[in-house]
Amino acid sequence: MRIAPRLLLAVAGAALALAAWAALTAWLVAAALQPSERQAVAALLGPRLPLVVLAWIAGSAVLAWVLNQVWHRQVRAPARLLEATRILGQGGSRTALDAAGGNRELRALAAAIAELAAERDRLRDEVAQEVARASKGVQQERNRLAALMSELSQSVIVCNLDGRILLYNNRARLQVRTLSQTPRIAGGAELIGIGRSIYAVLDRELVAHALDDVGQRLARGATHPSSQFVTATRSGQLMRVQLAPVVAADATANDGTPGRIGGFVLMLDIITRSFEEALARDQLLHELVESSRASLASQQAALEMLALPDVDETMRERFMAVVRQEERAMATRLEALVRSPAYDLRTRWPLEDMRGADLVEAARRRIEAHCERPVAADDVDPRVWLRVDSFSLLQALASLSCRLVDEFGIRYLQLRLRAAGERAQLDLVWSGPPISTETVIHWERDPMRLRDQSLPLSVRDVVDRHGAEMWFERERVRHEAFFRFLLPLAPAAGAADTADDALALETSRPEYFDFDLFRSDDIPPELDERPLAALAYTVFDTETTGLAPSQGDQIIQIGATRIVNGKLLRHECFDQLVDPGRAIPAASIPIHGITGDMVAGQPRITEVLPTFHAYAQDTVLVAHNAAFDMRFLQLQEAAAGVAFRQPVLDTLLLSAVVHANQASHRLEDIAARFDIPLLGRHTALGDALVTAEILLRLIPLLEAMGIRTLRQAREASERTFYARLRY
């Protein structure tokens, strides 16, 4: 612990006062003595002067010890008690009260504060229960909104007039992230999030034009105007956008005239694939028309020549050859057109992603219910995801199963599912009498039946609908036969379900909305003068190969989260491993748990840093011991072509401002004071989340000290002892 400057000054002053008192006493005694007595005293004390100095030093030491005890009991202990009380006011741990120390009266005061805090917590719980009961209806509406927006198949984003995102659903998050120019880096996390600008995705002028259009329609009396446009994104994708206005609550006057627009709703649809398919179909049809026109002209000319009466046999045979050749050419072109994926209408049926194991389980239940036979489903790969029309595919499996049971008396059926390259093999297996190929073809092409129920589609229709294949095989060795369906796999099968979000810290439905941002227009534009609670923050941390950035140590992981409108957005995280281009020292691996194998093949820092720069755009950077992390970033700015110019706050320095009398400002100790759980410690994202929780606790304490704006927080940080640390 550092010795307080005021204590050093007090000790020095007391020692000087003691020396001055001794000197004054000696002068007064000397003034009262005769000259001969003075000489005798000088002769007596002269050789003993070092003893006098030692006595002065010993007296000063005793006095310093006494002052130190008084200081800690009467000054430091009350200050620590004050800080512990403020921590307790922010929901922190009560152990800080016990650590405050002090005399008996202060300890009794700490116990009384703890009792009051316990009573406050009890009253708060009672109030919270009453509020929960009173707001149950509001909470239900909120849950319905969250469920609706999360599961809605349409990509929806709601923005205020500044283009800041207030609401988005999961489909919009996934769809917009596919537009990232570097989607493999942190999943394209730099594009979408609460409080972020939609203009990172869409051109500002297009949105302004659409807003002007709907504004004019509102002025003409339209009830629900909307505007639609198509744009090319920065990643080269085509996107169809439908914009509808959000009219402010006070926007309609008593006379019914429309008022101002408070925001807008965007509905997005990536149309690149459908556009390319339509273009390919148009090209095929154009080529067919042009080539057929030439063929028809040749056939017409040949037929006209054949109609002449004086055509000899040789010429007649030549013209007939032309007709047959052009006929074969037209037939070939038509067959190629029909077989082309761009023309195949059967494959453009709406298909959905579904876990293969879920489809097999649904098929097992349906077959057992309709066919009254047991069905095994043991050989099923749980990692397989399919893109299917589950309803029609289940009908096909049940229809085939019922025919096997009714016509051949099959008693036992089995379903198998496994991946096979870029497709999945779904097998309906049985043991029993042989079935002819003609019977299988008949079943495949006839309308499906479920006992007494006839269905409009055939099994072949279902197979064609999926762009799939289906055949019949026998396994003579095992005396089994099976129908095999070769089905399409879902893109990135199951990726969203198997992703290990170990640092999500909660299992509830993520929140993708914050309507309080509709009121963000009241915030002054000067960033330094904005209230701390109104700022948007990117809280980040890095893991590195070592502690010496100027000596070649490199970043191996960047983790970050965002705070917007005073809320920690846990589900809008940035988490990316980085290939450092050098070996990771063995001594550092037990600390962060990152090995060379984990970073092998990961992007280099020159790829990651621009994406992180975009993620942190228009926010205040926050880190714990930020000088260390910022030094690593700054050394890579030139190579990555970016520069971090936004303001930086350091929770280490802010803790030193708020808790000046605490012994430690390590991340673990601050978290313990605030009773914040440490999950994922020494991972970049885990430490960033803990740092974000600490920042949210520190802001009210800073405001209580009169530090309310970003400028005041930065100035107070710069005055602390820890601000002198450099890397």
pLDDT digits (tens, 9 = 90+) for 231-252: 877 667 778 899 999 887 654 4
Distance of CA 130 to the CA centre of its chain: 34
Residue 344: CA atoms inside 13 Å, Cβ hemisphere, count?
Answer: 15
Q: Give the global pTM.
A: 0.60
User: Exposed (0-12), middle (13-18) or buried (19+): which is 422, by Cβ within 10 Å?
Assistant: exposed
Whole-number Cα distances in Å, 477 to 263, 413, 434, 481, 727: 69, 18, 13, 10, 72
Q: How many CB atoms lie within 10 A of CB 635?
A: 17
Looking at residue 255, its pLDDT comes to 46
Looking at residue 155, its pLDDT comes to 87
CA-to-CA distance for 138 and 86, rounded, in angstroms?
32
Structure tokens at 672: 């313990």
Distance of CA 117 to the CA centre of its chain: 36
CA-to-CA distance for 273 and 49, rounded, in angstroms?
99
- May I ask the CATH architecture of the domain 523-724? 2-Layer Sandwich (3.30)
- End-to-end CA, the chain: 22
Looking at residue 580, its pLDDT comes to 94
Residues β-bridged to residue 487: 424
Contact status, residue 429 vs residue 480, Cβ threshold 8 Å: yes
Residue owning tokens 């509102």: 218
Distance of CA 204 to the CA centre of its chain: 24
H-type alpha helices, 349-428: 356-371, 390-408
Picking from 698, 677, 701, 700, the residue whose alpha carbon sits closest to that of residue 689 is 677
Q: What does 3-68 look like in DSSP terms, one character per residue?
A: PPHHHHHHHHHHHHHHHHHHHHHHHHHHHHS-HHHHHHHHHHHGGGHHHHHHHHHHHHHHHHHHHH
Contact status, residue 260 vs residue 218, Cβ threshold 8 Å: no
Picking from 595, 561, 559, the residue whose alpha carbon sits closest to that of residue 580 is 595
Q: How many residues does the chain have?
A: 727
Note whether 348-491 and 523-724 share their fold.
no
Q: Which secondary-structure segment (H or E) carries 127?
A: helix 104-134
Residues sharing a CB contact under 8 Å with residue 540, sequence separation 6 or more, in sequence order: 558, 559, 560, 561, 574, 612, 616, 621, 622, 623, 629, 684, 688
CATH number among 3.30.930.10, 3.30.70.2080, 3.30.450.20, 3.20.20.120, domain 140-270 = 3.30.450.20
Sequence ranges of the domains in the chain: 5-131, 140-270, 275-343, 348-491, 523-724
Catalytic-residue membership of 682? yes
Residues sharing a CB contact under 8 Å with residue 634, sequence separation 6 or more, in sequence order: 644
What does the longest C-alpha to C-alpha distance in the chain come to? 170
CA-to-CA distance for 382 and 380, rounded, in angstroms?
6
CA-to-CA distance for 340 and 330, rounded, in angstroms?
15
Residues β-bridged to residue 156: 267
CA-to-CA distance for 245 and 258, rounded, in angstroms?
12
CA-to-CA distance for 529 and 444, rounded, in angstroms?
74
In this prediction, the residues of the chain whose per-residue pLDDT falls under 50 are 1, 251-257, 345-347, 493-509, 520-524
Hey, what CATH topology would domain 348-491 get?
Heat Shock Protein 90 (3.30.565)
The C-alpha torsion from 197 through 202 and 207 to 209, rounded to 10°, is: 140
Rg over alpha carbons for the chain, rounded to the nearest Å, is 39
Helix (H, G, I), strand (E, B) or coil at 573: strand
Contact status, residue 215 vs residue 248, Cβ threshold 8 Å: no
CA-to-CA distance for 702 and 417, rounded, in angstroms?
60
Q: Which secondary-structure segment (H or E) carries 679?
A: none
The DSSP code for 685 is H
Contact status, residue 561 vs residue 685, Cβ threshold 8 Å: yes
Residues sharing a CB contact under 8 Å with residue 426, sequence separation 6 or more, in sequence order: 356, 359, 360, 386, 415, 416, 417, 484, 485, 487
Return the amino acid letter for 646. Answer: Q
Nearest-5° Cα angle at 92, 87 to 93: 110
